[in-house]
Structure 1
Amino acid sequence: MARGEDSSAQQAGIKQEKIEHARHKAYLFAGAAGLAGLMFGLDTGVISGALKFIAQDLGADDRTQEWIVSSLMMGAAGGSLLAIPVARHSGRRGAMLYAGLLFLIGTALCSVAHSVGMMIAGRVILGVAVGFASFSAPLYIAEITEKRQRGKMISLYQLVITGGMLLAMFSDSLLAYGGHWRWMLGILAVPTLIFILATMNVPYSPRWLVSRGRRKEASHVLQLLRGSQAAAQEELARIEKNLQREDGNGFTLLKTSPGFRKTFLLGIGLQAFQQLAGINILLYYAPHVLEHLHFSSEAAVWCTTLLGFANMLATGVAILLIDRWGRRPLLLLSTSIATVSLCLFGLVLFLKIGGVAGSIATIALLVTFILGFAIGEGPVPWTMCTEIQPLKGRGLAIACSTFANWSTNWLISNIFLSLMAALGDYGIFWMLAVFNAIFFLIALFFVPETKGCSLEEIEERLNEGARLRDLGQPASGSSGRHLTQDAGGAGRA
């Protein structure tokens, strides 16, 4: 009897070891895809320190500088839509590989640019690459990770973005003393090559394989990711069930499914207000804003690096909390902090508080805003937009919400300096505070709590006609429903 118990315990131990090994592989593959976020962060963050030197060498006035900065966002908006057919036919993995090649081309063009036109062309190509990456990487990560770890893993992508921004800002700070802007831009070829090599070694998404009729390959990948044939077959059956339920593609769903129209619009709203919150224009133009407030050029660049560090630090905290606290609490806390800090920053500017007190207040409030943004407004939209969309409409919905993110980013970065001249420095930050307050209301009334729910469970609730707030874990007492707990600890309607 004891021998039989020992044998059973040994088999259970081996089974658990296989599951843990498979889980580590899933983390490794998600990490490789997350390097797309590193490229995203590097190529968007590097411009803050390089812009002044580019403007001096290429003779760019304020309006031209706005176009140099915003041209990447314009390319990213287009790239997020071009990524739809690429990801459909070549897979999420294929889209990431194309992004890597475009990163190399754009980096080379920018680092040798001898005119504004050439610089803008290189930035547009980099933007298309960023659009491909920001569409395909979060989608890939969401489709290969377990539901209990999905929020953390997608947020890890956001952390890598902030890490890329910080690395770019730190590199800019070191190279700023000599004005070596070509090195600032050209050195990004090294991480690009690493990203391409890493992407070549990840498997295709099982959900994409099923949608292409490659069931055997999907089963193999799921077993590789889950470490259990039973778990792989169960997940495969749920993916196939959702595919069979939905006829047509994303455009068909948009016409026929009221539930999909709601999640489609919510995804666009989340991504648009993430940019209207003001994070990227602050990071792009922080040296310009700080110099306007009488900081020296070197101090302004190093203060921008401090903002990048705060951004990465708070994103790391968000990763630890997003699958514990949930998406909604983080987003509500984040929008509250961002709104208050921007209101106070605008007040400091309005009252023209100068000297040491003004400098301390300026840095403290900007860091507070960054911390507030990064704990929720940064990672939650990327996480939510991959979670709430049904499988057949996921590609279209994520592409359109990513397009909304980048087109909004392009708009505000293209007019920021001009708008600050028109509204005054305090006026522009009060305007951003209003956008953050609206974001708070969207989170309060429309954002569901998807912590601990599988993509298939969320889709089933969408098909059952649940309201947006109830797609994940329904609010207590809403619609007469009550919560029960499943084995993974997730609330179910």
Structure 2
Amino acid sequence: MARPHTSPSVPRAEPTSARRLLSGAIAALACLLYGYCSGVVAGAQLYVSRDFSLGTTAQGAVVSVFLLGAAAGALGAGRVSDRYGRRPALLLSALLFGAGLALAAFAPGLPLLLVGRVVQGLAAGLASAVVPVYLSEISTDRARGRMGTLNQFMVTVGLLVSYLVALAYSSGGEWRWMFGAGLAGVALFLLALPLLPESPAWRARGDGTARKMPGPRAALRVLTARGVRPALLVGVGLCLLQQFCGINAVLYFAPTIIRSTGLGASNAILYSVYIGALNVVMTMVAVELVDRWGRRPLMLLSVGLMFVALVPLGVSFMWDVPAHSLVALLCLLAYVAAFAIGLGPIVWLLLAEIFPPERRALGTAVCTTVNWLANFVVNQFFLTLVGALGQGETFWLFAGVCLLGLGFVWHRLPETRGRDDATIAAALGTGTVR
């Protein structure tokens, strides 16, 4: 049997596969809430903008302050999870999700709504940095791919649920209920958390040394040290690619994009449900393939197909092509499917694989912070960019990023499937990509 991610100095009874799966599913509920809070704004903003008379800048702020909160949450995640444990960090994220959704649901105006979105973001950032590390630490080398992609699968489920909830309340424009419905997920997570064991790898480092997180300058020195720097460069590069390819702009603004093709608000939300469902299905495919095909082939396939889908998507918005709405929808579906089979789930898996065990929480937290900041930049300026360049030209810009990303993955990303920490570190250090 492949070795578990625990310290060899502290022998422990290895948990069963069923126990690992249950623990992983409970931890990944945090990612379901992260996906829900990310996606619910896509439908809600159509009606928030109407009720609060929001302009383009304010609409962008409702999305983007969530991302700034997430960046802050991710940055602090390493310190919280290494000092207090993965389980208390996940409990904190659950409480923040609950507070943020409640604030948004009862907000009398834009300021309190923005506060609620920031709090939701803090929770999402914390979850996005802690869950991949926890899943990696409870897994074995052989099953690490499936377990590590569970978090992204739950994010896509959360997105789909948010789209369905938005559709259910779209006829009356009841955006407050769209946010409030997420509190049911928070209650489920809080009820399940007592069943979640602490990460065995965190428990094994019981002398407290691993829990003393370095300050910002010391952390920078640690992550730029010779043995860690290659992992940091690959991790940051993958996070930038994951966001600058434009995926979250498409997912967050899906109803707005589809509405621009001439469809009404309710129909636009309905089509976003199709996009969310496809995202879930293709992430399930990635879960099945990641330990068979490997990380590198799926990443190359994913980024290449995204480029192929974005080019005709841009054309459909730039010229009056026949069946414009249908062509745009098909291209969006192909683009989301390509993302979901590789670039979406595998980046999070790789972040938990490429860093040395003693630097895993810190390295993942820093890369996740970069991810959220890049997400903020894209989404804050997406509508502005569309207004300046045009929708079709903006999608072509994303296509250019995918082309550059394809070269980065080809030249810098090693295969990690079934390899232990030392082998992965050696491959990163020597630049070996096979």
Please indicate, yes or no, whether the TM-score normalized by the shorter chain is above 0.5. Answer: yes
2:421 matches 1:455? yes
Alignment check: 8 A CA contact 1:74 1:410 kept: yes
Q: Which residue of 1 aligns with 2:202?
A: 208
Instruction: Give 1:468 shift.
Output: 3.8
Q: Percent identity?
A: 34
2:432 to 469, 475, 483: 469
Letter in 2 for 1:84: G
Whole-angstrom CA distance in 1 between matches of 2:420 and 2:207? 22
Letter in 2 for 1:442: F
Letter in 1 for 2:267: A
Instruction: Give 1:201 shift.
Output: 2.0
Instruction: Give 1:137 shift.
Output: 0.6
1:138 to 125, 132, 136: 132
Q: Deviations over 1:92-148 (max 9, x none)?
A: 111111000100110110000011110000000000000110010111000111111
**DSSP-derived class of the 1:324 partner:** helix
**DSSP-derived class of the 1:353 partner:** coil
Choose 1 or 2 for highest CA Rg. Answer: 1
**DSSP-derived class of the 1:323 partner:** helix
Q: Which residue of 2 aligns with 1:432?
A: 398
Q: Deviations over 1:324-376 (max 9, x none)?
A: 0000000000001100110111112222225xx22221111110001111000
* 362-371 vs 391-400, which moves further: 391-400
Q: Which residue of 2 aligns with 1:73?
A: 67
Q: Deviations over 1:149-170 (max 9, x none)?
A: 1111111211111011001101
Whole-angstrom CA distance in 1 between matches of 2:65 and 2:361? 24
Whole-angstrom CA distance in 2 between matches of 1:194 and 1:409? 28
Structure 2 unpaired stretches of 5+ = 1-12, 211-217
Whole-angstrom CA distance in 1 between matches of 2:139 and 2:297? 22
Q: Which residue of 2 aligns with 1:6?
A: none
2:206 matches 1:266? no
Instruction: Give 1:199 shift.
Output: 2.4
Aligned positions of 1:156-305 closer than 5 A: 156-213=150-207, 250-255=219-224, 257-305=225-273
Q: Which residue of 2 aligns with 1:372?
A: 338
Q: Which residue of 2 aligns with 1:128?
A: 122
Structure 1 unpaired stretches of 5+ = 1-18, 216-239, 241-248, 476-493
Q: Which residue of 1 aligns with 2:50?
A: 56
Whole-angstrom CA distance in 2 between matches of 1:250 and 1:324? 35
Whole-angstrom CA distance in 1 between matches of 2:83 and 2:276? 36
Instruction: Give 1:212 shift.
Output: 3.5
Whole-angstrom CA distance in 1 between matches of 2:420 and 2:88? 25
Alignment check: 8 A CA contact 2:104 2:179 kept: yes
Letter in 1 for 2:181: I
1:341 to 309, 315, 318: 309
- Report the aligned-residue RMSD: 1.9
Alignment check: 8 A CA contact 1:250 1:393 kept: no
Alignment check: 8 A CA contact 2:261 2:324 kept: no
Alignment check: 8 A CA contact 1:107 1:186 kept: yes
Letter in 1 for 2:430: R
2:86 matches 1:99? no
1:412 to 364, 375, 378: 378
Q: Which residue of 1 aligns with 2:149?
A: 155
Letter in 2 for 1:32: I
**DSSP-derived class of the 1:258 partner:** coil
Q: Which residue of 2 aligns with 1:237?
A: none
**DSSP-derived class of the 1:378 partner:** helix
Instruction: Give 1:268 shift.
Output: 1.0
Q: Deviations over 1:72-110 (max 9, x none)?
A: 101000110111211111111111110001001101100
2:38 matches 1:44? yes
Alignment check: 8 A CA contact 2:243 2:374 kept: yes
Q: Deviations over 1:271-301 (max 9, x none)?
A: 1210111111101111111111211211111
2:329 to 363, 366, 371: 363
Instruction: Give 1:455 shift.
Output: 3.5
Instruction: Give 1:213 shift.
Output: 2.0
Whole-angstrom CA distance in 2 between matches of 1:214 and 1:268? 28
How many residues align? The count is 416
Q: Deviations over 1:438-468 (max 9, x none)?
A: 1111110111111112335434x36xx8424
Whole-angstrom CA distance in 1 between matches of 2:259 and 2:21? 42
Alignment check: 8 A CA contact 1:32 1:195 kept: yes
Q: Which residue of 1 aligns with 2:215?
A: none
Whole-angstrom CA distance in 2 between matches of 1:51 and 1:432? 23
TM-score of the superposition, structure 2-length normalised?
A: 0.92
**DSSP-derived class of the 1:295 partner:** coil
Letter in 2 for 1:164: G
Instruction: Give 1:21 shift.
Output: 7.1
Instruction: Give 1:411 shift.
Output: 0.8
Whole-angstrom CA distance in 1 between matches of 2:172 and 2:242? 35
Which 4+ residue blocks in structure 1 deviate beyond 4 angstroms? 249-252
Whole-angstrom CA distance in 2 between matches of 1:446 and 1:259? 16
2:401 matches 1:423? no
Alignment check: 8 A CA contact 2:262 2:325 kept: no
**DSSP-derived class of the 1:98 partner:** helix
